[in-house]
């Protein structure tokens, strides 16, 4: 059999793969993605493992060129590169075709036989999103300095640890969230990704409400506002202001806010920003520091820059863009994603992943 095969009938198609390929697929698929959309696809042709965009999944979510999708692809790529390096694969075996949707990364098998047995994937699976309140204790200055020095391509990290800076950023997130909660398109996308019951969560993608850290009654509220017509009635009573205030309050509970900055919303820069996002996230989680990403500000800025805002939102989001420039004051760089980081003793439920057969295709016969 030579044509590409998806094997949904197999419990785990990795059983028939070389150990190092299974290891890489496990590491790659544990990457974070906006609303856990997992827009990636891995394929193995007997000589190379390829990372590509899953066009159908990306399109069903935010769209193939949306920066959040590219950030997720960058995060996945970073995991693959780090996992390949840990498995002893030399850099010469990794090719970066340049962000073509059909191939973001190819890792070839030349010499693959000598790759040591699968390393432990827990380094990658330990990384997770934490949405509970964090302590406001300051983080070690050596760590913050190291983060501030982090670079990938044109992407860089900025650290905001002074309470006044964090309060300013919380204000930006509140304004961006107000726009988001009044935007029917974003609302429908968010609602489509919500997994409100155990059987929905068991699909392995989307936002499992158990991971959202909702207060009592939170699930009920989610169900109530899921219908946009109801949400728009509630918005007339100020619901969007209340929800945005809650979002902003959660930002204030942290040790620092990190901004992954990049010059454009396009492929090379967002891939670099995604790689950097994943690198610092792994570093922080392994130092016992929790991470909660916020994409809402970047999303509004992206929609403004690409003319995708509803007419009524143009003026407030233009004002938001002005305030954002004042807070981030960073030449031609803009925030690709923000991270609230800090310490917490709380154990949080983990997001699941799609069955491997849904993100993996092999063009060689599985045993
Ligand atoms: C580009 C990007 C944007 C994200 N934006 C948000 C966000 O605005 N709010 C949030 O709570 N989580 C956000 N997340 C976290 C994802 O929801 C999370 O990574 C996903 O559900 C998988 O969970 P895990 O990180 O625990 O593996 C974002 C993740 C990525 C990669």
For residue 54, being part of any structural domain is answered with: yes
Ligand 1 center from residue 82 Cα (angstroms): 20
What pLDDT is recorded for position 3? Answer: 36
Note whether 261 and 336 are same-domain residues.
yes
For residue 132, being part of any structural domain is answered with: no
What pLDDT is recorded for position 11? Answer: 54
List the structure tokens of 135: 């302590």
Ligand 1 center from residue 132 Cα (angstroms): 14
Q: Is residue 75 in contact with ligand 1, taking CB distance under 6 Å?
A: yes
Note whether 279 and 324 are same-domain residues.
yes
pLDDT reading at 7 higher than 50: no
What pLDDT is recorded for position 112? Answer: 52
Q: Is residue 131 in contact with ligand 1, taking CB distance under 6 Å?
A: yes
Note whether 147 and 101 are same-domain residues.
no
> By mean pLDDT, which of 113-117, 139-143, 268-272 is the weakest?
113-117
Q: Give me the domain span that covers residue 170.
A: 141-342
Ligand 1 center from residue 149 Cα (angstroms): 23
Task: Report the half-sphere exposure of 269 (CA within 13 A, side-chain side).
Answer: 18
Q: Round the average pLDDT of the chain to a whole number and report it.
A: 91
Note whether 224 and 121 are same-domain residues.
no
Q: Which mutation among 65, 124, 129, 190 tests ligand 1's pocket best, with the greatest number of atoms within 8 A of CB?
A: 129
Strands (E) across 81-232 are located at 94-95, 105-108, 151-152, 155-160, 194-195, 207-208
Digit-coded pLDDT (tens) for 267-284: 999 999 999 999 999 999
Note whether 108 and 149 are same-domain residues.
no
Note whether 167 and 300 are same-domain residues.
yes
Prediction pTM value: 0.94
Report the nearest-CA residue for atom 12 of ligand 1. Answer: 293
Note whether 336 and 356 are same-domain residues.
no
Helix (H) or strand (E) holding 119: none
For residue 347, being part of any structural domain is answered with: no
Note whether 183 and 327 are same-domain residues.
yes
Parallel, antiparallel or unpaired: strands 48-53 and 40-44: antiparallel
Ligand 1 center from residue 284 Cα (angstroms): 15
DSSP string across 175-196: HHHHHHHT-HHHHHHHHHHEE-
Phi/psi at 341 (5° precision):
-130, 150
Confidence of residue 12 (pLDDT cuts 50, 70, 90): low
Q: Are 38 and 353 in contact (CB under 8 A)?
A: yes
Q: Which mutation among 35, 179, 359 tests ligand 1's pocket best, with the greatest number of atoms within 8 A of CB?
A: 35
What residues contact 196, with CB distance under 8 A and at least 6 apart? 209, 219, 222, 223
Ligand 1 center from residue 142 Cα (angstroms): 26
Ligand 1 center from residue 367 Cα (angstroms): 36
Confidence of residue 117 (pLDDT cuts 50, 70, 90): low
Domain count along the chain: 2
**Largest alpha-carbon pair distance within the chain?**
65
Helix-helix angle 218-225:228-236, to 10 degrees: 100
CA distances from 303 to 67, 300, 338 (A): 10, 5, 17
Confidence of residue 213 (pLDDT cuts 50, 70, 90): confident
Cα torsion 67, 72, 76, 81: sign: positive
Q: Are 88 and 115 in contact (CB under 8 A)?
A: yes
Q: Could you give the CA distance from residue 57 to residue 237 in angstroms, rounded to a whole number?
A: 35
> What is the CATH classification number for the domain harbouring 183?
3.40.109
């Amino acid at each position: 059999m030579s044509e590409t095969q998806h094997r949904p009938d197999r419990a785990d198609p990795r059983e028939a793969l070389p150990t190092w390929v299974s290891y890489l697929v496990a590491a790659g698929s544990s990457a974070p993605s906006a609303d856990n959309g997992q827009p990636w696809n891995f394929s193995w042709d007997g000589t190379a493992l390829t990372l590509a965009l899953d066009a159908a999944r990306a399109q069903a979510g935010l769209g193939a060129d949306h920066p959040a999708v590219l950030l997720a692809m960058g995060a996945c790529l970073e995991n693959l590169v780090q996992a390949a390096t840990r498995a002893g694969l030399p850099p010469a075996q990794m090719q970066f075709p340049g962000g073509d949707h059909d191939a973001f990364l190819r890792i070839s098998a030349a010499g693959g036989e000598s790759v040591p047995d699968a390393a432990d994937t827990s380094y990658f699976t330990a990384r997770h999103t934490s949405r509970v309140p964090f302590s406001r204790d300051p983080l070690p200055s050596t760590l913050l300095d190291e983060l501030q020095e982090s670079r990938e391509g044109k992407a860089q990290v900025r650290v905001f640890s002074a309470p006044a800076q964090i309060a300013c950023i919380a204000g930006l997130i509140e304004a961006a969230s107000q726009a988001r909660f009044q935007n029917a398109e974003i609302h429908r996308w968010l609602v489509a990704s919500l997994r409100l019951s155990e059987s929905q969560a068991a699909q392995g993608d989307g936002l499992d409400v158990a991971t959202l850290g909702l207060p009592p009654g939170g699930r009920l509220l989610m169900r109530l506002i899921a219908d946009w017509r109801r949400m728009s009635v509630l918005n007339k009573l100020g619901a969007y202001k209340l929800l945005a205030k809650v979002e902003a309050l959660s930002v204030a509970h942290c040790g620092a806010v990190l901004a992954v900055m990049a010059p454009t919303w396009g492929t090379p820069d967002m891939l670099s920003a995604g790689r950097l996002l994943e690198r610092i996230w792994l570093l922080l989680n392994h130092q016992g520091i929790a991470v909660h990403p916020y994409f809402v500000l970047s999303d509004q800025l992206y929609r403004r820059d690409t003319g995708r805002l509803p007419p009524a939102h143009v003026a407030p989001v233009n004002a938001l863009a002005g305030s954002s420039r004042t807070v981030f004051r960073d030449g031609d760089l803009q925030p690709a994603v923000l991270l609230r980081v800090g310490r917490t003793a709380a154990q949080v439920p983990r997001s699941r992943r799609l069955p491997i057969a849904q993100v993996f295709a092999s063009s060689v016969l599985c045993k």
